[in-house]
Amino acid sequence: MNTVDRHRAIIEKINKNEQIKVQTLCQELDVSSVTIRKDLRLLEDKGFLYRIHGGATLNNPYAIDKYVSEKEKIHFAEKMKIGKEAAQRITTNDSILIASGTTVLAFAKCITPKENLTVITSALNVSLELNTNLAIDVIQLAGNLRKRSSSVTGMYAEKILSDFSCTKLFLGVDGIDLDFGFTTTNMMEAKLNREMMKICQKTIVLADASKFGKRGFGKICNIDYIDEIITDDRISDFTKNALEDFGVSVTIV
């Protein structure tokens, strides 16, 4: 296989799977890793892909910190479907933790408990959404308010978490990278998310498919730290299978 045919094969594979590994390409195209890395560098320069650790991706892997009012309008229908599915995870007299993000806000809009529910959250918009329901007791974490996300971060929010124990954390993220893990665009928010995970029996990530292959500045955790991901049907089979290989339950709506 000459260079042109090899490049064509790489482009076809990444268009189909959205993400490819250097090792896989070496085996399938019968060339060295040095050759594949040179190919990926050239194809990136031409705008066909983005190089990442151990391979390449079709989508720009770097998440941008946008205002929540802007993010809320993006993939709105998918977020509402994810939110409705996530609401089914709530049990009678449950105590849950909700992080920040527009997908967890969609989840909050779908919560209709028949009996008492206790919610701890870092997100002001989530608190305001749930406060209208008399069956829901809301505990708003205190801390430094991030205007872009309408949520709090910092040591005050982290410290109070040690006084609680919850069944589930519903977590929104800015990026999901199979190598790097789950990320957000703010390092303080990432740190708070890690503290949230410590007091919950189960962590459920709510993320539309556009978050896959992305990386934010602040790392939350590795892939295998998460119990379940609820996402939409735009997720590729490659990504779904890879997540399940890590032991993560994947629910598609």
CATH of the domain at 21: 1.10.10.10
Could you tell me if 246 and 209 lie in one domain?
yes
Task: Tell me how far apart the alpha carbons of residues 183 and 217 are, in angstroms, rounded to a whole number.
Answer: 7
Is residue 109 a part of any domain in this protein? yes
Could you tell me if 130 and 215 lie in one domain?
yes
Whole-number pLDDT of residue 214: 85
Could you tell me if 155 and 238 lie in one domain?
yes
Tell whether the model's pLDDT for residue 235 goes beyond 90.
yes
Is residue 106 a part of any domain in this protein? yes
Could you tell me if 216 and 124 lie in one domain?
yes
Could you tell me if 29 and 131 lie in one domain?
no
Could you tell me if 26 and 123 lie in one domain?
no
Could you tell me if 112 and 89 lie in one domain?
yes
Could you tell me if 81 and 115 lie in one domain?
yes
Could you tell me if 193 and 217 lie in one domain?
yes
Among 12, 37, 57, the domain boundary falls at 57
Whole-number pLDDT of residue 75: 78
For residue 82, the enclosing domain spans 68-252
What is the domain count for the chain?
Answer: 2
Res. 213 pLDDT band, cuts 50 70 90: confident
Whole-number pLDDT of residue 74: 72
Task: Indicate yes or no: pTM above 0.85.
Answer: no
Could you tell me if 232 and 168 lie in one domain?
yes
Whole-number pLDDT of residue 32: 94
Tell whether the model's pLDDT for residue 73 goes beyond 70.
no
Question: Which tokens hold the place of 98?
Answer: 């909700």
Could you tell me if 200 and 84 lie in one domain?
yes
Alpha carbon 110 to chain centroid distance?
Answer: 19
Is residue 227 a part of any domain in this protein? yes
- Residue 84's closest CA among 109, 61, 65? 109
Locate the DSSP E strands across the chain. Answer: 19-21, 50-52, 55-57, 95-98, 117-121, 136-140, 144-146, 151-153, 166-172, 175-177, 181-184, 200-206, 218-221, 228-231, 249-252
pLDDT in tens, 52-61: 878 888 877 7
Is residue 62 a part of any domain in this protein? no
DSSP string across 28-77: HHT--HHHHHHHHHHHHHTTS-EEETTEEESS--B-----HHHHTTTTHH
Whole-number pLDDT of residue 63: 63
CATH of residue 103's domain is 3.40.50.10470
Whole-number pLDDT of residue 68: 65
Could you tell me if 131 and 40 lie in one domain?
no
If one compares 26 and 74, the residue with the highest pLDDT of the two is 26
Is residue 63 a part of any domain in this protein? no
pLDDT in tens, 8-32: 999 999 999 888 999 999 999 999 9
pLDDT in tens, 129-181: 999 999 999 999 999 898 877 899 999 999 999 999 999 999 999 999 888 89
